[in-house]
């Protein structure tokens, strides 16, 4: 009986250890996501400060995927800034995605479902935003 | 424009530090500055604000994750409510007159300031025995965290899950409507209604704000409410500020946090309420 108890607490300890590992990896993934978006935004801002131009007429900026993509190809500063802002918007979504992975690893099926459900709601929101134009 | 960009970086830096410390999105600080001090159209202030909310959250959660203050299960479960609320809020924007929204919002802020004040006067800060309800046990919401200020591991129970969930629907709705993180409401839902301690409540609220804001941010992004020259310098300042703020927060006591938080909440609440009548202070 006492032996059993010890084994289960050892397993528990190992699991906690593993979860700590996963959380550290998640932290790194998120940090990279945030850094990439920050670098892209900064790049665009520095271009504006250096050249004094936004790449667009006064009070204009790209808001559709096509306009932003073609603006990036032409290296227009505002298009690059908008890409960075969009990447920043995606970082919380990335948070949800990696959390699903964490719960899968933890074999917590209830929370795999709950977190997947949150992701689906977010995707519906994006679809509404995109089609509501 | 270059001067404005640099000024907004500084504004973002300050908003990020305070936002992370109080568990509010930075948007509550940004919107009054942009509209009242810089005379920007409220529509664009909301767009910049929702970006600020995400930046605060993303900047701070990286730091919180290592602290183990965050309760990921509480966050994910309650995000079902906040994201649905945010999407409904984003759809409702434009239907309701903003005057009404300001007044309602101001009143709720004043209420939460009063509520926190009352709680502080009632005295004792921690470790009142909380009975976990059956739902929080079933959903594995009870947790523990390491408190730097008192230097020990604190276990806590979560109660009144349905009440917290309902409050989170409202918090999401407010977030989608006004482009705020509604961190104050989220902290109320966890700290006041579900009886979670303030520090894990703030950390969890910070994560939730980002996910909630992302639900409505795409709407603002694609309808042109997010102006790059305003939102981007704020975002950069906030990312840096939020990281600093979350480091400072670890070394503050919960009572100190509340004492700083209450007058700010009260002031912003009054300001929001009066703005509904077209009065600015």
**Residue B280, pLDDT above cutoff 80:** no
Mean of the pLDDT values across residues B119-148?
A: 72
Tell me what pLDDT residue B25 has: 58
Chain A residue with Cα closest to B222: A63
**Number of domains, chain A:** 1
Of A27, A92, A129, the CB nearest to B62: A27
Across the interface, whether the CB atoms of B79 and A81 are under 8 A apart is answered no
B24 vs A28, which has greater pLDDT?
A28
pLDDT band at B61 (very low <50, low <70, confident <90, very high): low
| B56 occurs within a structural domain | yes
Across the interface, whether the CB atoms of B218 and A125 are under 8 A apart is answered yes
**Number of domains, chain B:** 1
Domain boundaries, position B97: 2-276
Residue B140, exposed/middle/buried by CB under 10 A (0-12, 13-18, 19+)? middle
Highest mean pLDDT: which of B154-168, B193-207, B238-252?
B154-168
Residue B56, exposed/middle/buried by CB under 10 A (0-12, 13-18, 19+)? buried
| C-alpha of B152 from chain center | 27
pLDDT in tens, B67-98: 567 888 999 999 999 999 998 888 787 666 76
B27 vs B147, which has greater pLDDT?
B147
Tell me what pLDDT residue B22 has: 67
Measured between alpha carbons, how far is A126 from B6 in angstroms, rounded to an integer?
31
ipTM over the 0.90 cut-off:
no
Of B61, B214, B232, the CB nearest to A122: B214
| B281 occurs within a structural domain | no
Across the interface, whether the CB atoms of A49 and B221 are under 8 A apart is answered no
Measured between alpha carbons, how far is B161 from B67 in angstroms, rounded to an integer?
24
Mean of the pLDDT values across residues B187-198?
A: 85
Tell me what pLDDT residue A3 has: 46
Beta bridge partners of B155: B144
Chain B residue with Cα closest to A33: B58
| B179 occurs within a structural domain | yes
Across the interface, whether the CB atoms of B2 and A49 are under 8 A apart is answered yes
Is residue B7 less than 8 Å (CB to CB) from chain A?
no
Across the interface, whether the CB atoms of A122 and B215 are under 8 A apart is answered yes
Across the interface, whether the CB atoms of B62 and A126 are under 8 A apart is answered no
Across the interface, whether the CB atoms of B218 and A126 are under 8 A apart is answered yes
Tell me what pLDDT residue A77 has: 93
| B121 occurs within a structural domain | yes
The region of weakest confidence among A101-115, B46-60, B264-278 is B264-278
Spatial CA neighbour of A103 closest among B70, B207, B62, B76 = B76
- Give, in order, the Cα–Cα distances in Å from B3 to each of A54, B9, B146, B232: 15, 10, 43, 14
Mean of the pLDDT values across residues B139-149?
A: 81
Tell me what pLDDT residue A109 has: 93
Residue B134, exposed/middle/buried by CB under 10 A (0-12, 13-18, 19+)? exposed
Q: What parts of chain A have a pLDDT lower than 50?
A: 1-3, 5
Interface of B with A in 151-180 (CB under 8 A): none
- Inter-chain contacts counted by CB atoms under 8 A, chains A and B: 158
Interface of B with A in 65-84 (CB under 8 A): 65-66, 72-73, 76-77, 79-80, 83-84
Q: Give the mutation candidate from A35, A79, A92, A102 for the B interface (greatest B CB count, under 10 A).
A: A92
| B176 occurs within a structural domain | yes
Nearest-neighbour CA in chain A from B270: distance (Å): 30
| B61 occurs within a structural domain | yes
Instruction: Supply the DSSP symbol for B227.
Output: -
Measured between alpha carbons, how far is B228 from B29 in angstroms, rounded to an integer?
19
Tell me what pLDDT residue B216 has: 87
Domain boundaries, position A28: 2-131
């Amino acid at each position: 009986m006492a032996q059993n108890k010890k084994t289960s607490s050892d397993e528990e300890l190992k699991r906690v250890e593993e979860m700590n590992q996963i959380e550290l990896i998640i932290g790194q993934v998120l940090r990279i996501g945030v850094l990439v978006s920050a670098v892209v935004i900064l790049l665009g801002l520095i271009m504006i400060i250096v050249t004094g131009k936004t790449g667009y007429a006064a009070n204009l900026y790209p808001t559709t995927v096509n306009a932003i993509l073609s603006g990036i190809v032409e290296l227009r500063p505002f298009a690059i800034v908008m890409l960075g802002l969009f990447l920043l918007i995606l970082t919380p979504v990335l948070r949800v995605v990696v959390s699903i992975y964490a719960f899968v690893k933890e074999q917590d099926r209830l929370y795999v479902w709950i977190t997947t459900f949150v992701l689906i709601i977010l995707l519906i929101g994006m679809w509404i935003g995109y089609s509501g134009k | 424009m270059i001067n404005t960009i640099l000024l907004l970086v500084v504004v973002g830096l300050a908003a990020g530090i305070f936002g992370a410390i109080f568990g509010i999105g930075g948007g509550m600080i940004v919107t009054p500055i942009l509209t009242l001090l810089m005379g920007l159209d409220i529509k664009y202030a909301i767009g910049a604000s929702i970006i600020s909310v995400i930046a605060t959250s993303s900047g701070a959660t990286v730091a919180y994750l290592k602290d183990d203050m965050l309760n990921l299960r509480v966050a994910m479960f309650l995000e079902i409510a906040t994201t649905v609320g945010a999407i409904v809020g984003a759809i409702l924007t434009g239907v309701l007159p903003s005057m009404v929204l300001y007044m309602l919002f101001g009143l709720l802020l004043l209420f939460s300031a009063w509520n926190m004040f009352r709680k502080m006067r009632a005295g004792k800060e921690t470790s009142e025995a909380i009975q976990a309800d059956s739902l929080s046990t079933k959903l594995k919401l009870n947790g523990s965290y390491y408190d730097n200020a008192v230097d020990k591991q604190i276990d806590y129970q979560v109660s009144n899950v349905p009440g917290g969930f309902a409050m989170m629907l409202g918090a999401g709705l407010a977030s989608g409507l006004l482009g705020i993180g509604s961190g104050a409401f989220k902290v109320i839902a966890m700290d006041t209604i579900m009886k979670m301690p303030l520090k894990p409540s703030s950390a969890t609220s910070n994560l939730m704000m980002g996910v909630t804001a992302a639900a409505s941010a795409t709407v603002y992004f694609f309808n042109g409410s997010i102006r790059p020259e305003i939102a981007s310098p704020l975002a950069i300042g906030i990312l840096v500020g939020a990281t600093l703020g979350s480091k400072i927060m670890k070394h503050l006591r919960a009572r100190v946090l509340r004492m700083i938080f209450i007058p700010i909440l009260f002031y912003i609440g009054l300001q929001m309420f009066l703005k509904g009548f077209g009065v600015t202070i």
